[in-house]
């Protein structure tokens, strides 16, 4: 078989190997809060979408893409996951091509295999969020950077990749910083073209700046709390720990994780591949800067108290150059190839275990709350909600959503359902009393969702007691109270 035709089959096989776990994950994985936000905001009219993001965080491109795809009749969350599957699959091919340009054919195939089965890359590629687009942008950026380094064109593609990253997520700014640093390592005239491309990518984001500067810091403040739960060693390792295909994913994401000793063994294998790459004759400075600089920038910002790093998310900008390095290490002598095969197989095992985990998950808390509301208020009614539950309940009510009025408490949280901060959203004086007066005439059509442990819990429990509501369902993080059953009412507890 002629070589070009053989290569086409190899690229097709790599694309299928990448797509298969991503499609399976998109079907099996339960939605989570931020995906409910994606579905909600993408349904808004364009002006309302921008206004909603002004009160939340992040650029608009992922939501606009979902909105566009949804015009074909695809449900918004399915549209969002479809976009992520496509972006994640394309990222695998671009990462393989970047490594191939930099270190040869063998490095390209090893890198493609690693990105195809890496648990983080798969997870980003089967959820309705921006991280698959950021991964695609990073892979595209490094592939175009390598094209420039080898005297080929690539400036327009590099600018487009950075524009894609910046319009998809705030992490795009960190990717741009890394791209500038890598560009400065290139010989002229490639250096000048690369720097100009980075500047063009950043300039494309200027129209969004007026909105971005008004987005509240409270929208991402939750990451600071997650950071404080880490030990000192955990904080030091956090920016790079999950780059290993055998990282401790379950501590941060709904992914399977190997035992701690396996994680240590996996880290040792990864370090061996990095050592093989750096000890060879390969020019590894560019990918080294590509994954170390973002980790250093994010780690430094977090050390200064800026909540910008949540493990398992920010790695989207540094995973590709890291795996390109591993691919370079795997392209050397036979022992390195054996180590690389062990890493790829282990990553595939963790990804397969994650798919099985998702397949065996029971109904989510949001699904159960929505089902209990249908049973407890069969004709619909008012649901007063504390905490984060509004978007998930609304999503799982489906068509029944039209007969329910879902209201946040305090009312100020209604405008930004994507986040909740008790330090920002506090009940106004007399708000609870006014709510009680409003709800008394329709107590048979009223339910309350209490979020234990949150600042609103005591107020909402008092409201439920004053209305004579009784417990219907308890799930982790929420209690649902509905009107007491009347004699002859056949609806039981949820």
User: How does pLDDT run along the chain (494 residues), one tens digit per residue?
Assistant: 456 777 889 999 999 999 999 999 999 999 999 999 999 999 999 999 999 999 999 999 999 999 999 999 999 999 999 999 999 999 999 999 999 999 999 999 999 999 999 999 999 999 999 999 999 999 999 999 999 999 888 999 999 999 999 999 999 999 999 999 999 999 989 999 999 999 999 999 999 999 999 999 999 988 887 788 888 888 888 899 999 999 999 999 999 988 889 999 999 999 999 999 988 656 789 999 999 999 999 999 998 888 888 999 999 999 999 999 999 999 888 889 999 999 999 999 999 999 999 999 999 999 999 999 999 999 999 999 999 999 999 999 999 999 999 999 999 999 999 998 888 899 999 999 999 999 999 999 999 999 999 999 999 999 999 999 999 999 999 999 999 876 555 544 44
Among 307, 335, 359, which residue terminates a domain? Answer: 359
Give the pairing of strands 446-450 and 478-483: antiparallel
Instruction: Assess whether 15 and 88 both reside in one domain.
Output: yes
Number of folded domains that form the chain: 2
Measure the CA–CA gap between 318 and 289, rounded to whole angstroms.
9
DSSP 205: T
Residue 226 CB contacts under 8 Å (≥ 6 apart), including other chains: 252, 310
What is the distance, to the nearest Å, from the Cα of residue 89 to the centroid of all Cα atoms in its chain?
Answer: 16
Measure the CA–CA gap between 372 and 60, rounded to whole angstroms.
34
Give the pairing of strands 469-475 and 478-483: antiparallel
Instruction: Assess whether 326 and 448 both reside in one domain.
Output: no
Is residue 146 assigned to a domain?
A: yes
Is residue 489 assigned to a domain?
A: no
Instruction: Assess whether 154 and 64 both reside in one domain.
Output: yes
| Structural domain boundaries, residue 169 | 3-359
Is residue 398 assigned to a domain?
A: yes
Instruction: Assess whether 21 and 162 both reside in one domain.
Output: yes
Among 359, 393, 427, which residue terminates a domain? Answer: 359
Instruction: Assess whether 378 and 344 both reside in one domain.
Output: no
Instruction: Assess whether 323 and 413 both reside in one domain.
Output: no
Instruction: Assess whether 386 and 340 both reside in one domain.
Output: no
Among 314, 342, 359, which residue terminates a domain? Answer: 359
Instruction: Assess whether 20 and 150 both reside in one domain.
Output: yes
Instruction: Tell me the pTM.
Output: 0.95
Is residue 210 assigned to a domain?
A: yes
- Give CA angle at 111 (263, 66), nearest 5°: 90
Instruction: Assess whether 169 and 87 both reside in one domain.
Output: yes
Question: Contact at 8 Å (CB) between 141 and 161?
Answer: yes
- Residue identified by tokens 């099996």 is 28
- Give CA angle at 201 (48, 143), nearest 5°: 120
Instruction: Assess whether 351 and 243 both reside in one domain.
Output: yes
For residue 430, give both structure tokens.
Answer: 């007399």
What is the distance, to the nearest Å, from the Cα of residue 291 to the centroid of all Cα atoms in its chain?
Answer: 19
3-state secondary structure 403-459: HEEEEECCHHHHHCCCCCCCCCCCCCCCHHHHHHHHHHHHHHHEEEEECCCCCCHHH
DSSP 475: E
Measure the CA–CA gap between 340 and 378, rounded to whole angstroms.
57
Measure the CA–CA gap between 370 and 375, rounded to whole angstroms.
9
DSSP 381: E
Instruction: Assess whether 241 and 385 both reside in one domain.
Output: no
Is residue 491 assigned to a domain?
A: no
Is residue 180 assigned to a domain?
A: yes
Instruction: Assess whether 370 and 354 both reside in one domain.
Output: no
Q: For the chain, give the number of residues.
A: 494
Is residue 60 assigned to a domain?
A: yes
Is residue 78 assigned to a domain?
A: yes
């Amino acid at each position: 078989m002629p070589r070009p035709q053989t290569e086409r089959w190899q690229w097709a096989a790599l694309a299928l190997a990448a797509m298969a776990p991503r499609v399976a994950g998109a079907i099996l994985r339960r939605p989570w809060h931020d995906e409910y936000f994606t579905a909600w905001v993408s349904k808004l009219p364009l002006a309302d979408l921008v206004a909603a993001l002004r009160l939340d965080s992040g650029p608009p491109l992922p939501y606009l893409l979902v909105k566009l795809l949804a015009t074909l009749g695809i449900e918004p969350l399915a549209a969002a996951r479809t976009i992520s599957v496509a972006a994640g699959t394309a990222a695998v091919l671009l990462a393989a091509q970047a490594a191939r340009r930099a270190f040869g054919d063998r490095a390209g195939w090893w890198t493609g295999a690693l990105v195809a089965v890496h648990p983080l890359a798969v997870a980003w590629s089967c959820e309705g969020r921006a991280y698959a687009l950021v991964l695609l942008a990073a892979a595209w950026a490094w592939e175009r950077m390598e094209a420039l380094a080898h005297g080929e064109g690539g400036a327009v593609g590099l600018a487009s990749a950075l524009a894609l990253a910046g319009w998809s997520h705030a992490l795009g700014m960190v990717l741009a910083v890394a791209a500038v640093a890598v560009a400065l390592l290139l010989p002229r005239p490639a250096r000048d073209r690369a720097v100009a491309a980075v500047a063009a990518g950043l300039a494309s984001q200027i129209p969004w700046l007026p909105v971005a500067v008004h987005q509240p810091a409270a929208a991402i403040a939750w990451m600071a709390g997650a950071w404080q739960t880490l030990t000192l060693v955990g904080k030091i390792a956090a920016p790079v720990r999950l780059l290993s295909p055998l990282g401790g994913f379950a501590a941060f994401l709904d992914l399977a994780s190997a035992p701690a000793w396996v994680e240590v063994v996996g880290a040792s294998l990864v370090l061996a591949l990095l050592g093989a790459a750096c000890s060879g004759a390969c020019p590894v400075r560019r990918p080294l800067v590509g994954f170390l600089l973002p980790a250093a920038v994010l780690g430094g910002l977090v050390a200064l108290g800026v909540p910008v790093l949540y493990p398992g998310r920010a790695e989207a900008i540094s995973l590709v150059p890291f795996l390109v390095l591993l691919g370079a290490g795997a392209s050397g002598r036979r022992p390195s190839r054996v180590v690389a095969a062990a890493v790829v197989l282990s990553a595939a095992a963790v990804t397969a275990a994650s798919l099985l985990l998702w397949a065996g998950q029971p109904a989510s808390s949001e699904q159960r709350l929505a089902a209990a509301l249908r049973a407890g208020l069969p004709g619909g009614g008012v649901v007063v909600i504390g905490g984060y539950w509004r978007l998930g309940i609304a999503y799982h009510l489906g068509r029944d959503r039209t007969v329910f009025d879902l209201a946040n408490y305090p009312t100020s949280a209604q405008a930004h359902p994507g986040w909740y901060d008790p330090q920002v959203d506090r009940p106004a004086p007399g708000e609870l009393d006014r709510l009680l007066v409003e709800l008394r005439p329709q107590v048979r059509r009223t339910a309350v969702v209490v979020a234990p442990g949150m600042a609103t819990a005591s107020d909402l429990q008092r409201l439920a007691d004053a209305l004579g509501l009784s417990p219907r369902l308890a799930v982790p993080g929420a209690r649902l109270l509905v009107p007491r059953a009347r004699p002859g009412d056949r609806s039981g507890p949820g």
